[in-house]
Structure 1
Amino acid sequence: MPRRIDHEGRSRLIAEAVCRLADEHGLEGVTLRDVAARAGVSMGAVQRCFRTKEEMLLFTLGQIGDRIQERLRARRLESPAQSAMTVLGHAATEIALLQEEHRAEARVWLAFLAQAAVSTPLAKTLKANYAALEETFVRLLSEAVGTTGRATAARDPRREARTLLALTDGLTAHVLIGHLTPQEAQDVLHAHLAGLWGAPGDPAP
């Protein structure tokens, strides 16, 4: 009887290999042959999952986004009664990838961001990811204003959402190149979030 192949599981295994190689060498160091060797599978196995390198990179980018979203869902489930302000703070921190255990993920994310500047398919995927994150921030900002009555963020929730999204990306880059320590970046993020509720300098919720 023919052996059944878990294509989804193998695709995730390959995506992990892509991330490890991209973390070490950037996306220019990612080849189908090297990915196959790192994943412990044959070139044919990689090609059965992905017809092209670009297709493989798109899947990997989606996996990174899924991991971030899964962490956000897990934090929400841990404390279902937390306020929208608190959820927004957690979401911004996760997206900024400031924790030491997420440093490799941050390097890979920025490698994809750089590649997207010259790859229309990657840019399209990243734009969709950013649009979804923006909508999440808009919703949380609107919920927080509605429950607290503190109106600094109410002036234009979408503009504030875009500002916060740009800030998280910038902090990721500044930490990776050593301009800021993770704690300094966290302080910047906390101060910005506190300012949204009309209380500059207060710790983030």
Structure 2
Amino acid sequence: MPKKVDHQARRTLIADALMRVAAEQGLEAVSLRHVAAAAGVSAGMVQHYFRTKDEMMAFALAVVRDRNQVRVTEAIGRLGDDPPARLLLRTMIAALLPLDEQSRADGRVALAFLAYTAVRPAAAGELRDDTAQMVGFLAGLLPGPDRAADAAGLLALMEGLGVYLLGGQYTAEQALAALDAQLDLLFAG
């Protein structure tokens, strides 16, 4: 009787290995051979599930996106019904910032993917869509006449804080204080 294979589990195993390699050694170390070794599988198995490095990268980013969604959903769920917009935004952004070890590992992969797409625009399509959706969501929660520009600025602040946290230039306390200061400006009056 043939063995049943959980293809999604294998793809996730390989994506997790890719994320470990990227987080520990940088994106330049991500190769079929390195990912296979980190996953404890053959290079042929990696090729079976991902024909190209772009496919592996896109799947790894989707895993990071899913993990972020879970973190955000859980954090917002703890707020109860109908939280104020400012608290909702702060909670959501804080959940996305790399403030603990798991979110730092995910953040390093997301940052590596962002750098990867800077030189491979064809790989950036989903990222552009995600960014547009995030700006639209943020704008829907912000007050004022220039909500789209304010949302874009808030997203840029979040990304910048993430980079500074990953690089060790900011502590969690400094990043959250900067976030609170920006939210205070946006929600003043």
TM-score with structure 1 length normalisation? Answer: 0.85
1:67-82 equivalences under 5 Å are 67-81=67-81, 82=83
* One-letter identity of the residue aligned with 1:94: A
Task: Tell whether the 8 Å contact from 2:98 to 2:165 is kept in structure 1 after alignment.
Answer: no
Identity in percent: 40
Question: Which residue is 2:94 aligned to?
Answer: 93
Task: Tell whether the 8 Å contact from 1:92 to 1:164 is kept in structure 2 after alignment.
Answer: no
Q: What is the distance in 1 between the residues matched to 2:148 and 2:10?
A: 39
**Change beyond 3 A, Cα 1:16–1:100:** closer
1:123-138 equivalences under 5 Å are 123-138=124-139
Matched, 1:2 2:13: no
Match 1:192 to one of 179, 182, 187: 182
Q: What is the distance in 2 between the residues matched to 1:138 and 1:91?
A: 14
Task: Name the count of aligned residue pairs.
Answer: 188
1:23-42 equivalences under 5 Å are 23-42=23-42
Question: Which residue is 1:116 aligned to?
Answer: 117
Per-residue deviation, residues 150-181 of structure 1 (Å, max 9, x unmatched)? xxx31211111100000011111122223222
Question: Which residue is 2:151 aligned to?
Answer: 161
Q: What is the distance in 2 between the residues matched to 1:134 and 1:62?
A: 19
Q: Which runs of 4+ in 1 moved over 6 A?
A: none
Structure 2 SS opposite 1:154? coil
Q: What is the distance in 2 between the residues matched to 1:61 and 1:76?
A: 22
Structure 1 SS opposite 2:168? coil
Structure 2 SS opposite 1:12? helix
How large is the Cα RMSD of the aligned pairs?
1.6
TM-score with structure 2 length normalisation? Answer: 0.92
Matched, 1:174 2:164: yes
Q: What is the distance in 2 between the residues matched to 1:91 and 1:195?
A: 18
Question: Which consecutive residues of structure 2, in runs of 5 or more, have no partner in the other structure?
Answer: none
Residue 97 of structure 1: CA displacement?
2.3
* One-letter identity of the residue aligned with 1:117: A
**Change beyond 3 A, Cα 1:161–1:118:** same
Q: What is the distance in 2 between the residues matched to 1:100 and 1:60?
A: 17
Q: What is the distance in 2 between the residues matched to 1:54 and 1:197?
A: 40
Residue 80 of structure 1: CA displacement?
3.2
Structure 2 SS opposite 1:170? helix
